[in-house]
Structure 1
Amino acid sequence: MTARYSDTADVILLDIEGTTTPVNYVFGVLFPFARDHVADFLTAHQQDAEVQSDIQRLRQEYEIDLVQGLSVPDWRGTEATAAVPYIHHLIAIDRKSTGLKSLQGKIWNQGYRDGRLRSQMFADVKPAFERWTTALKQLFIFSSGSAQAQKLLFRYSEEGDLTNFISGYFDTQTGSKREAQSYQKIADAIGVAPEKILFISDVTAELKAAQAAGMQTLFSIRPGNHSSESEGFAAIQNFDSL
């Protein structure tokens, strides 16, 4: 029997964009949806405590940007919708902002629940999830999108609800995906030695961080990804070999 990359791993940790899901779905569907609906969402939900917390985080980030001399849109006024130009700016530059990602998750929640959004998965994803579950491997997700957004993406997919296959979700509250300590935190949270975890991503900087923490790594090459240069990491084009 041909050995699979996952044979020595008890846990499979996955990135989303460019790994399970086409990059274009994130940039061509999710980001525009959040951008187009954020003003109406804030008008309707500006009194919600969790939304106010997101706005507070974003305001702190805005103040830091000003101190650093970055060019950002004016944020004037105390109403929640005053944050819209800055939010549009963060979406445009794809900043991995915890406040932004949390707010986007709330906006996407409405879209998924009323049927305007259905997430896309590569064709090999669901069969791989089924195969790994049968092999008693645990599956976790680590993405810059909020844990809420991750759950929504896998629950409301075109392939059906895939959340039953997933044991847990990690986001930027764990730490940057480009820092080794984030992966050590994940290993500690799961309760598995890093060398028993296989992390798959289309970003080599993330793979370097995971490797530094002791994890196994694979570079994901998918149609539409930003880069196919693996920088020496073992690469896969689908999950069929896992």
Structure 2
Amino acid sequence: MSRILITGASSGIGEALTRSYQARGEQVIACGRSQAKLEQLTHLNGVSSLQFDITDREQVMATASQVGQLDTIILNAGDCEYIDDAINFDSQLFERVINVNLVSVAYCLEAWLPHLAPHGRLVFVSSSAQLLPFPRAQAYGASKAGLTYLANVMQIELARHDIAVSVVHPGFVATPLTDKNTFDMPFKITAEQAANYIIAGVDKGKSDINFPGLFIFILKFLRALPSACWRAIALRMQS
């Protein structure tokens, strides 16, 4: 029985991961801001919870003494807001998204990495959005591109400490975040399907977990084209 800490566990992919790991007998520490939602998970055998604001360093650091030894850390918490007017750039929105999706991850690493057991695994849930510059996604895309870079560096740095690192790049997943989107989301999958992809990738020891396969292939193909080709496509997306 392993001990797995999951951030953003109160909804979406994090909740699905919590339920899936619990169903196979693992001990899960579910982390989130909503005490009411976390309480719905702690009724499950083997699930405990930590309620805090992940963007508050003092709150995150205060959890360090409560987690005990961990076998897996899944840094899944995130947010998405769009910048609708690039001329009148919303720096406060940009800061909010960067803080949730990137800066808060640094707080988590500082607080919990010392508790990760040898042969443990650290999992960063990034996004396929980091593959291409999408309209309105200045904040979200930049935060996820930064998160992927961080994960790739940590793969190198933590190898000598016998800690494996995985970075996850999902496509569109049906969650409360994507429910707000008003545009088409091709190849969208459920949170439960996303959790299955992640767990299978972690079990296989994959350093890169990308899904769904066809969607990721299309994005990588578009990225391989001259940048002017993608800009032309993105401009048509805005019209």
Greater relative CO, 1 or 2 (CA 8 Å, sep 6+): 1
Provide the TM-score with structure 2 as the length reference. 0.29
Provide the TM-score with structure 1 as the length reference. 0.29
Structure (1/2) with the larger strand percentage: 2
Q: Who wins on radius of gyration, i.e. which is larger?
A: 1
